[in-house]
């Protein structure tokens, strides 16, 4: 009886570790996803660029200049398992509204180097490297840089913006407030598994595979420090991956000036797809005001040309 019970417990523990390994693998090495758009869909005057992350990882991107010789610029921060092409619609309307744009691939995505997606840990160095590269360009007014971000890219942007005041304005769609929250939701959505015991084992495996602790501060602990720079948080009503509750929690924790918008019918990171005209009007109105761009919201929205 004891022998049979021991075998059962060993098998149970082995199964838990097998599931946890699969979770860690999907987190660190997500499958390549075909994006909805490519550069040819928009005809943007994009320049292929490479630059270094703060930890020297080689990153690849597109720099899309504005018509003006020197003016405001926006960095685009894509989501987990995605690439710079995810935010091509955003690059398009920003470019046509007079912004220079830097869209880049985080490590281990697209054409960038790196051997793993690190759940926002080392990606903070990537975003800092992108801001370094953008601020150094003569076409860019380094005092007027904003960030537009989605999902994990929003969390990275919140954490970086809390300390780096070069980010003068932030638009963050569907960020998660805490690591625990995203792990719980992801386990339920992707694997149909409860948090216990799989989350703890998966986090332990991820830490061993990265050689880095995941016990770092969450976005909700840092977001208040973005103030007095303006923040625009966007929640997607039909977000089956993360839900909209975390965005609302982050908005409550943030300090003024801040804005919040819940997009009806929008899936995860699909706010632009659900309401493209209103998305552009609201995002451009916010950025124009925050970065001192003279065009009115209506004029900026009319200038945006979508494919």
What are the DSSP calls for 17-72, one per residue? HHHHHHHHHHHHSPPP---S--GGGTT---EEEEEE-TT--EEEEEEE--SSSSEE
- Using a pLDDT cut of 90, give the percent of the chain over it: 77
pLDDT tens track for 142-200: 999 999 999 999 999 999 999 999 999 999 999 999 988 888 888 888 888 888 888 88
- Rounded distance, CA 93 to CA 287, Å? 12
Q: What is the pLDDT of residue 273?
A: 97
The residue count for the chain: 307
Number of neighbouring beta carbons within 10 Å of residue 1: 5
d(CA 276, CA 15): 45
- Does pTM top 0.85 for this prediction? yes
Compute the C-alpha angle 109/96/80, nearest 5°. 20
Which of 179, 136, 248, 190 shows the shortest CA–CA distance to 19?
190
Question: Which pLDDT belongs to residue 302?
Answer: 42
State mean pLDDT over 65-88. Answer: 95
The CATH number for 37-177+219-303, chosen from 3.40.250.10, 3.40.50.1820, 3.30.565.40, 3.40.630.40, is 3.40.50.1820
Ordered strands of the 47-52 beta sheet: 47-52, 58-64, 100-104, 71-77, 140-150, 167-173, 231-236, 258-263
On average, the pLDDT of the chain sits at 92
Q: Which two tokens stand for residue 100?
A: 């220079």
Extents of the domains making up the chain: 1-30+179-217, 37-177+219-303
């Amino acid at each position: 009886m004891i022998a049979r019970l021991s075998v059962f417990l060993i098998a149970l523990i082995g199964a838990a570790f097998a599931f946890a390994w699969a979770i860690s693998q999907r987190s660190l090495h997500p499958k390549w996803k075909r994006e909805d758009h490519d550069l040819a869909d928009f005809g943007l005057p994009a320049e292929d660029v490479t630059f270094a992350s703060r930890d020297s990882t080689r990153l690849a991107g597109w720099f899309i200049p504005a018509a003006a010789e020197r003016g405001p610029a926006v960095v685009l921060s894509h989501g987990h398992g995605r690439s710079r092409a995810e935010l091509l619609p955003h690059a398009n309307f920003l470019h046509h509204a007079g912004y220079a744009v830097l869209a880049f691939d985080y490590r281990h995505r697209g054409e960038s180097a790196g051997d793993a997606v690190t759940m926002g840990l080392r990606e903070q160095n990537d975003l800092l490297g992108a801001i370094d590269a953008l601020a150094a360009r003569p076409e860019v007014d380094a005092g007027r840089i904003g960030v537009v971000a989605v999902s994990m890219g929003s969390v990275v942007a919140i954490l970086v913006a809390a300390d780096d005041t070069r980010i003068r304005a932030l638009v963050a769609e569907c960020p998660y407030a805490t690591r625990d929250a995203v792990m719980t939701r992801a386990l339920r959505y992707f694997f149909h598994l409860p948090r216990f015991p799989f989350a703890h084992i998966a986090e332990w495996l991820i830490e061993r595979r990265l050689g880095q602790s995941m016990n770092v501060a969450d976005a909700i602990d840092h977001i208040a420090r973005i103030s007095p720079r303006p923040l625009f948080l966007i929640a997607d009503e039909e977000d089956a991956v993360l839900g909209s509750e975390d965005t609302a929690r982050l908005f409550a924790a943030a300090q003024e000036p801040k804005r919040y918008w819940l997009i009806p019918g929008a899936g995860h990171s699909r706010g632009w797809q659900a309401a493209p005209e209103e998305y552009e009007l609201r995002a451009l109105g916010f950025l124009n005001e925050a970065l001192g761009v003279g065009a009115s919201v209506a004029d900026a929205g009319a200038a945006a040309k979508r494919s």
